[in-house]
Structure formats: structure tokens, C-alpha cells
């Protein structure tokens, strides 16, 4: 049984032992090397992943061809392009492993079955959607109301454990500046 996954879900809903077994059997472990893609831009996202171990980044490619990092998910978090997953449209973003990762994946169809088979499955789905909605609004607000220095401070507050795990150019891309500008921000803040 996928202990960490079941523990995560148990924080949101009550499950019987049979339901825990059923859920565990629907999440398939997949191993990714550093640089592998969980999802490529243009593909339809057909599964939700629970990161048992590892780290992923979300990438959007600008019209100029420049990649922009728009977010991260780490150990014991879920990863998915929910827009593509829910409406079956081609993904506008890629999800790339930036560390060797083990991701437990559940397909769209199995997730729909979970909502029916597990007594509190609908509640789990609603709470997961509410969390994603709040995260999306927070990120959008950050983009429109904060300058790069404030976004960097927000990154440090949101992802303190990732500072040592991420290359600086991913952090600078996430903050929306070039690496030399991030270095200047960091120097200014260190004073």
C-alpha cells in the first residue's frame, strides 16, 4: 500500500481499509530520471500524479521560444495540468522532473471511479479542486501585484526547502527575471 499517499488522503477524508486498498491499487508507480517529462507541452494530460519522491517544475514556452518556469511541486504533493486533465485539451505547459522522481499516477477514468467507489470520494475531489483554485488565485495575484523582489520573497516563504534543491536559473525564471537580476535582488536582501 502507498503509505504516504493514503496518509495524505486520510487528512481530508475518512476511508475504510477496503477503500484504502482500492485507492492504492489504482495509483501506478512510475520512475522518472532527472530531465524526464511527466507531461509535454501539447499533450493531453491523462493522469494526476502524487510525487512520492522528487521535484517537478511547470514550464510554459513563450512565443520567442524562451522557457518560463511557472511553478514547482515536491515530495508528497500532487502534480497535474488540471486544465488539460479536466477538459481533455492539449496542455499549454510541460511538467518536467528536475530530480529523479517516483510519481504515483492515477488515470482520469480511475479518478472518476474513485469519486463513486469511495464513500467520501466526492468530498476528496471537491477539497482537491478548492485547493487548486486557491493556489491559482494566489499565483495570479502575485504576478499582477508584486514586483520581482516581492515575488522572490514570496518564493522563499512558499518554498523554503527548495532554495538548495533548485538551480538559480529556475528560481529566476519563476520570479520573472534573468539570473543576474536575481543575484542583485539576493545581494540587496542580504544587506
Q: What is the pLDDT along the chain (191 residues), one digit of tens a residue?
A: 699 999 999 999 999 999 999 999 999 999 999 999 999 999 999 999 999 999 999 999 999 999 999 999 999 999 999 999 999 999 999 999 999 999 999 999 999 999 999 999 999 999 988 998 998 898 888 888 999 999 999 999 989 999 999 999 999 999 999 999 999 999 998 88
Round the CA-based radius of gyration of the chain to a whole number and report it.
18
Q: Which domain holds residue 96?
A: 3-117
The reply to whether 108 falls in a domain is yes
Report the C-alpha gap between 50 and 9 in whole angstroms: 11
The reply to whether 56 falls in a domain is yes
Report the C-alpha gap between 53 and 79 in whole angstroms: 12
The reply to whether 40 falls in a domain is yes
Please give the full DSSP string across 13-54, using - where no structure is assigned: S---HHHHHHHHHHPEEEEE-TT-EEE-TTSBP-EEEEEEE-
pLDDT at 166: 94
The tally of domains found in the chain comes to 1
Amino acid at each position: 500500500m502507498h503509505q504516504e499517499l493514503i496518509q495524505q488522503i486520510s487528512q481530508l477524508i475518512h476511508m475504510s481499509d477496503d477503500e484504502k486498498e482500492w485507492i492504492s491499487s489504482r495509483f501506478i508507480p512510475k520512475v522518472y530520471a532527472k530531465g524526464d517529462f511527466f507531461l509535454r507541452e501539447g499533450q493531453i494530460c491523462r493522469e494526476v500524479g502524487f510525487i512520492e519522491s522528487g521535484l517537478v517544475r511547470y514550464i510554459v514556452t513563450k512565443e520567442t521560444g524562451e522557457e518560463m518556469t511557472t511553478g514547482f511541486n515536491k515530495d508528497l504533493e500532487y502534480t497535474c495540468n488540471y486544465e488539460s486533465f479536466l477538459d481533455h485539451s492539449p496542455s499549454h505547459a510541460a511538467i518536467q522532473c528536475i530530480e529523479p522522481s517516483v510519481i504515483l499516477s492515477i488515470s482520469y477514468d480511475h479518478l472518476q471511479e474513485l469519486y463513486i467507489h469511495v464513500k467520501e470520494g466526492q468530498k476528496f475531489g471537491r477539497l482537491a479542486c478548492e485547493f487548486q483554485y486557491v493556489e491559482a488565485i494566489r499565483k495570479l495575484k502575485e504576478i499582477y501585484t508584486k514586483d520581482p523582489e516581492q515575488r522572490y520573497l514570496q518564493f522563499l516563504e512558499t518554498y523554503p526547502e527548495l532554495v538548495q534543491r533548485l538551480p538559480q536559473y529556475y528560481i529566476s525564471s519563476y520570479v520573472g527575471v534573468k539570473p543576474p537580476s536575481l543575484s542583485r535582488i539576493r545581494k540587496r536582501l542580504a544587506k
